[in-house]
Amino acid sequence: MLDTYQTLETPESIDLELHLAGPVVRILAFAIDFGIRAIIQVIAAIGLSTLDQIGTAIWFLLIFSIE
């Protein structure tokens, strides 16, 4: 059986049992994160498109800072 619990011992001799996230949980978290970033980028692109070249530069800086 696949055991997803990880036991760690702290310097104070306390055992911590941690439940590791599986692939489904990680894929859902990635999808939510990707969706939020995509929505922010689309809204920024629409809003900054009126500023011509400076808007494009600001948009590229925004993409760089989000990633």
Model confidence pLDDT, tens digit, residues 20-51: 888 888 999 999 999 999 999 999 999 998 99
Instruction: With respect to residue 62, please indicate whether it lies within any of the assigned structural domains.
Output: yes
Averaged pLDDT of the chain = 89
Across the chain, which distance is largest between two alpha carbons, in Å? 61
**What pLDDT is stored for residue 40 in this prediction?**
92
Instruction: With respect to residue 30, please indicate whether it lies within any of the assigned structural domains.
Output: yes
Instruction: With respect to residue 45, please indicate whether it lies within any of the assigned structural domains.
Output: yes
Instruction: With respect to residue 56, please indicate whether it lies within any of the assigned structural domains.
Output: yes
State the total domains in the chain.
1
DSSP character string of 17-43: EEEPP-HHHHHHHHHHHHHHHHHHHHH
Instruction: With respect to residue 36, please indicate whether it lies within any of the assigned structural domains.
Output: yes
